[in-house]
Amino acid sequence: MSDIEDIAERSHELLTRLSGDYELETQLGFTVAQAVAGRVRGRFERVEGTARLDGDDPSQSSVQLTIRTDSIRTGNKRRDQHLCRSFLDTAGHPLATFSSTRVTRLEESAFRVAGLLTLRGVTKPVTLDLELASGLRFHGETTIDRRDWQVVWNAPAEAWGLFVGYDVTVQVDVVATRRPRQAPSGPVVAGFETKGQ
């Protein structure tokens, strides 16, 4: 067996062992160009997620995320309030969601996740490339055009053009924790589940 084949086999064995259901601890950040500050960086502090990982057939894996839109933080309270009101309409749309539609393994530890992002009541496709790091840590990023989700607020900035850019770079860092297996509903005797009386 060649070194490449040996690495591929060990990688497959690792992914097989990782198969299961997971809770996701997710850090969701973003970067956008802004006329005065150059670039604004922020994050969403309340993100919940789950995943089903299938190491034998990654295409059967799935990911779901739910984001509290009013948890946006940029280090400036007035700006956060403006983002909630004029950009995200958090009063009318308190949640944003992402649901995967297809997972493709690109390389030994690289995956492409295609899915649907719903924001402000608008659903559009998004594709994210993820890299599996040590343990069960994934990192990836993608760039979206906020106008696709009707996040269209802007203002002219003299000598700079538009005040806020339309392209938003989204960064995702995920730590996956395996869900514990559910205990049998009835008492177990000698390895067999018995029905309750």
pLDDT digits (tens, 9 = 90+) for 124-165: 999 999 998 877 899 999 999 999 998 887 654 444 444 578
* Span between the terminal Cα atoms of the chain, in Å: 56
Mean pLDDT, all residues of the chain: 82
**How many whole angstroms from its chain centre is CA 155?**
30
Would the pLDDT of 193 be above 60? no
**How many whole angstroms from its chain centre is CA 108?**
20
Q: Determine contact, residues 95/87, Cβ cutoff 8 Å.
A: no
How far is it, in rounded angstroms, from Cα 112 to Cα 115? 10
Residue 156 confidence (pLDDT):
47
Say what percent of the chain tops pLDDT 70: 76
How far is it, in rounded angstroms, from Cα 98 to Cα 126? 9
β-strand 47-53 against 20-34: which pairing, if any?
Answer: antiparallel
Residue 31 confidence (pLDDT):
94
CA gyration radius for the chain?
Answer: 21
Band of the pLDDT at 116, cuts 50, 70, 90?
A: very high
